[in-house]
Chains A and B, each alone.
Chain A
C-alpha cells in the first residue's frame, strides 16, 4: 500500500447460495463414484458441464448418462500465485482434458510429478472428497490397473 491518506471502508463479506436443483444428480453421482453428464433426448448433444436445457435445440428433455472419465490431456498450467480463497492450498496443477465421449473438462491434475506431465497423456477423471466435506473431481494419470 502507498501510505497516502485513505478512509478504510466498512467490511463486506459475500457468500452466494448457488442453486443446483436441476443438476443435483451430478453431485449425487460424484458421491457414488460416477461422473455424469446430461444428453439431450431431442438432438443428442452431450453436455458437460451438465445442463438442464439444451443450448443447441432448446429442448429441456434431458437424460443423465455416465461418462468413462477417461481422456487425454489437452493443456495445463501450474498455478503458483493463488487467489485469496486458495491461499491455504499448495500450488496446484490445472489441466483441460478431452474425454473419450468428446466433451472437454477443466480440473486439477493430481498424483503425478510435474516432469512427467505431457500433453496427450492419458488421464482418468475421478470424484474427490475435499477436506471441508464437499465433493469435487480431479484428473489422475490413467494406469492400466488401479
Chain B
C-alpha cells in the first residue's frame, strides 16, 4: 500500500442553507479544496461523493455534482455508510490511491436535509436501522436509539443529565468561535436542562441539529505530493473500520459501541500510535451521550470515566486531549454525508496549525490527530488517524 496525503481542504458554511441547491452547496467546498491543492477539475481522475440523499430532489447526486463542478468524465461513485458516509467516501478514495490505481482523488461530502419538513426528516432517519423490527410498529427515532444508550449508561455509571449537558456547553462554546458552524452561540447547562424533551433523557440541546453543508478533500499519493511540492501534506496514517448489528436489540450491551472499539483499535495498530499521543480529535457527538461513549470506546479513558473527563475539562483546549473544538456535530451541525469529511478538514487544519481564530487551535506536540465517525447508532464506524 502506498502512502496517501490530504493536500487540499474545502468547507461550506453549515446551517439552514435553503439559499442553495445540493450542487451549489457542493461547489462551495469543491472550489476551495482544489484551490488549496493548486489543481483544476481536469487534474482529478477519480471522485467519491458521500451523501445519503432522500431529503433533496436529486437521486443521483454524484453525477449532478460532478457535472456542476466540471468533473464529468472522472471515475465516480456515491458512497453510503449512514452518518459515517463521509469517512467511508474518504476511505474509498484513500484505497484507490494507496492501491496504485490513481494518484489523485477528490472526496465530496454533502447533505441537504432541510428541503423536507422536520417530522419527515425525523421519520427518514428513524427508519435507518432495522425497519420492520424496530420502526414499523415502534416508531423509533435517531434520538431514541441513542437515548437507549443514555438510559443504560446513566443507570450503570451514575452519570446525570447535567453531565450530558456539559458536552453540549463545551461544543457550543467552540462553535461560537467557528464562522462555518450552524449554531454559533454559547449555551449554559440550564439552557440544556430546560430545553424541550425529544426522547427522554435527551433534550433538544442534547441533539445535533438538522443541517445542510458540504466539505471536500483532495487526496494524493506520495509521488504526487513530491511532484506538486506540497508544503504541508497531512498523511492518512491509518484507517480502522467495523460495523454493528442492524437491530439495536442484538447489541451485547448499551454502554459503548463495539464497532467504535474495533475500528479504533485497528486504526491505532495500523498507524502505530497510542490514544495518549493524540493532540486533537473530532468524535461523533450526534448526541451528548455519544461523545462520552466515544471517549471510552477510543481508549481516551477507562469505561465509566468519560463523565469524569467532561466534568474535569480534559477535552477542552488546554486539557489532556481537545475534542470537537470546531463545535462538533452538536453545534457545528451534522449534514450526514458531509460530517466525516468535515472532521478530516478540521483535523488537517489543526495539524497545519492554521485554525482561525487561534483560540480554537489545539496545541500540537506529536502532530497526530484522530477522527471518529459513527454511522447510525454504531451501525458503522470509521476511525482515521492523521499525521503531519
Partners in one complex: yes
Is the beta-carbon distance between B18 and A4 smaller than 8 angstroms?
Answer: yes
Is the beta-carbon distance between A75 and B152 smaller than 8 angstroms?
Answer: yes
Q: How far is the CA of A107 from the CA of B132 in the complex (A)?
A: 12
A2 surroundings in chain B (CB, below 8 A):
16, 18-19
The verdict on A81 contacting B122 (CB below 8 Å), with A18-B132, A104-B249, A136-B137 known, is: yes
Is the beta-carbon distance between A94 and B144 smaller than 8 angstroms?
Answer: yes
Q: How far is the CA of A119 from the CA of B152 in the complex (A)?
A: 8
Is the beta-carbon distance between A83 and B152 smaller than 8 angstroms?
Answer: no
Nearest CB in chain A: distance from B143 CB, A = 7
Per-residue contact bits, chain B 127-167, to A (CB 8 Å; 1 contact, 0 not): 10010111111111101100111111001000000000000
Confirm or deny: B358 has a beta carbon within 8 angstroms of a beta carbon on chain A.
Answer: no
Q: Which of A4, A74, A85 contacts B152 (CB 8 A)?
A: A74
A82 surroundings in chain B (CB, below 8 A):
119, 122, 139, 141
Confirm or deny: A143 has a beta carbon within 8 angstroms of a beta carbon on chain B.
Answer: no
Confirm or deny: B254 has a beta carbon within 8 angstroms of a beta carbon on chain A.
Answer: yes
Per-residue contact bits, chain A 1-43, to B (CB 8 Å; 1 contact, 0 not): 1101010010000000010000000000000000000000000
Is the beta-carbon distance between A80 and B119 smaller than 8 angstroms?
Answer: no
Q: How far is the CA of A81 from the CA of B202 in the complex (A)?
A: 11
Is the beta-carbon distance between A83 and B119 smaller than 8 angstroms?
Answer: yes
B residues with a Cβ closer than 8 A to A are: 16, 18-19, 57, 115, 117, 119-120, 122-123, 126-127, 130, 132-141, 143-144, 147-152, 155, 196-202, 247-251, 254
| Chain A to chain B contacts (Cβ below 8 Å), 16 pairs | A2-B16, A18-B136, A77-B147, A78-B197, A79-B140, A81-B122, A82-B119, A83-B122, A94-B139, A94-B144, A96-B148, A104-B251, A106-B133, A106-B248, A119-B151, A119-B155
In this complex, the member of A78, A84, A92 whose beta carbon has the largest number of chain B beta carbons within 10 angstroms is A84
Is the beta-carbon distance between B133 and A49 smaller than 8 angstroms?
Answer: yes
Q: Which of A1, A4, A87, A107 contacts B138 (CB 8 A)?
A: A107
Give 17 new A-B contacts, CB below 8 A, not counting A49-B132, A75-B149: A18-B136, A49-B133, A74-B152, A77-B201, A78-B197, A79-B140, A81-B143, A81-B199, A83-B119, A83-B127, A85-B123, A94-B140, A104-B251, A106-B138, A106-B140, A107-B138, A108-B138
Confirm or deny: A76 has a beta carbon within 8 angstroms of a beta carbon on chain B.
Answer: yes
Nearest CB in chain B: distance from A74 CB, A = 7
Nearest CB in chain A: distance from B155 CB, A = 5
In the A-B complex, the 6 residue pairs with the smallest Cβ-Cβ separation, listed nearest first, are A77-B147, A83-B123, A86-B139, A136-B137, A75-B152, A78-B200
Q: Which of B16, B198, B254 contacts A81 (CB 8 A)?
A: B198
Is the beta-carbon distance between A96 and B254 smaller than 8 angstroms?
Answer: yes
Is the beta-carbon distance between B18 and A76 smaller than 8 angstroms?
Answer: no
Is the beta-carbon distance between B122 and A106 smaller than 8 angstroms?
Answer: no
The verdict on A77 contacting B123 (CB below 8 Å), with A9-B57, A83-B139 known, is: no
Instruction: Name which residue of chain B comes closest to A89, CB basis.
Output: B139
Nearest CB in chain B: distance from A89 CB, A = 7
Nearest CB in chain A: distance from B283 CB, A = 22
B140 surroundings in chain A (CB, below 8 A):
79, 94, 106
Q: How far is the CA of A130 from the CA of B149 in the complex (A)?
A: 28
Q: Which of A9, A75, A77, A85 contacts B199 (CB 8 A)?
A: A77
B134 surroundings in chain A (CB, below 8 A):
106
Instruction: Name which residue of chain A comes closest to B202, CB basis.
Output: A77
Nearest CB in chain B: distance from A143 CB, A = 23
Q: How far is the CA of A119 from the CA of B254 in the complex (A)?
A: 12
A67 surroundings in chain B (CB, below 8 A):
none
Is the beta-carbon distance between A92 and B137 smaller than 8 angstroms?
Answer: no
Confirm or deny: A105 has a beta carbon within 8 angstroms of a beta carbon on chain B.
Answer: yes
B200 surroundings in chain A (CB, below 8 A):
77-78, 80
Q: How far is the CA of A135 from the CA of B18 in the complex (A)?
A: 41
Instruction: Name which residue of chain A comes closest to B251, CB basis.
Output: A104
Q: How far is the CA of A76 from the CA of B117 in the complex (A)?
A: 27
B117 surroundings in chain A (CB, below 8 A):
84
B197 surroundings in chain A (CB, below 8 A):
78, 80-81
In this complex, the member of B130, B137, B149, B201 whose beta carbon has the largest number of chain A beta carbons within 10 angstroms is B137
Q: How far is the CA of A101 from the CA of B335 in the complex (A)?
A: 41
Per-residue contact bits, chain A 48-70, to B (CB 8 Å; 1 contact, 0 not): 01000000000000000000000
Nearest CB in chain A: distance from B130 CB, A = 8
Nearest CB in chain B: distance from A76 CB, A = 6
Q: How far is the CA of A2 from the CA of B303 in the complex (A)?
A: 44
In this complex, the member of B117, B120, B139, B140 whose beta carbon has the largest number of chain A beta carbons within 10 angstroms is B139
